[in-house]
Amino acid sequence: MRLKDKIALITGGAAGIGKITAERFAEEGARVVICDVNRKVGEVTVAGLGSEAAFYRVDVTNRASVDSWVKSILEKYGRADILVNNAGIVRDSLLVKMKDGELVKQMPEADFDLVVSINLKGVFNCTQAVVPAMIRQGGGVILNATSIVGIDGNIGQTNYIATKAGVIGMTKAWARELGRHNIRVNAVAPGFTATDIISAMPQKIIDGMKARTPLGRIGRPRDIANAYLFLASDEADFISGEVLRVDGGIVIGT
């Protein structure tokens, strides 16, 4: 029961890594509050998290929506101990694609803006909304979802990489700013992980991911959830400003 009675907020908690993280936290005694834009899936997920859990429909790009969520949590639970900034999307495309000297395709500006607004601005919105309560209560834990591509880069993911590299930068800045308030800030960088996005890919692509991973398999959402659990627990009480890779040993591009 490493998180006994802790109030844990998880964005994008209806499905995927967010859902499994919510389940792991609940198993370890946390009172879990998840948010997501998908109300139907979110309500199904929260039903399995125990009577103390709650679901809110929240758009992390909308500051008023985020502020209302955090206010409701503080009114209900009185505190916020852990924030996992998990919500994110992908909209992959090459920066530009040329054929015979002519531009035939490029990453749409709207896709760049959307990914930045959710993956980067959403992390900023949620953290800034929660931190004052953590300061007043004497401490807390912020955990941010980044990615190995935010460290190593990857083809066709300019927008996603920009956000995940930005999250790493914010993690390090906040660790320095908030440490004096007993708030730890860390990030988790998953490798290829068996979420719905990857599971829907052709088997040939999945086999290629396995072949490029030294441990010889795709990551499981529980692998990532366990990393969040460790960093949220008192076992990581002297760890802040770090990026924990959970990737089976892969280096993109090798």
Catalytic residues: 160
Q: Which residues pair with 57 in a beta bridge?
A: 36
Query: How do strand 102-106 and strand 96-99 relate by DSSP bridges?
Result: antiparallel
Rounded Cα distance between 20 and 28, Å, is 12
Residue 168, SS3? helix
State both tokens at 252: 């993109």
Rounded Cα distance between 115 and 124, Å, is 14
Rounded Cα distance between 61 and 238, Å, is 31
Question: Helix, strand, coil % (nearest 5) of the chain?
Answer: 50, 20, 30
The answer to whether 104 and 98 are in contact (CB under 8 A) is yes
Fill in the amino acid letter for 222. R
Q: Strand 31-36's sheet: what is its strand order?
A: 54-57, 31-36, 7-11, 82-85, 140-145, 183-190, 243-246
State both tokens at 52: 């103390």
Maximum Cα interatomic distance, the chain, rounded to a whole number of Å: 62
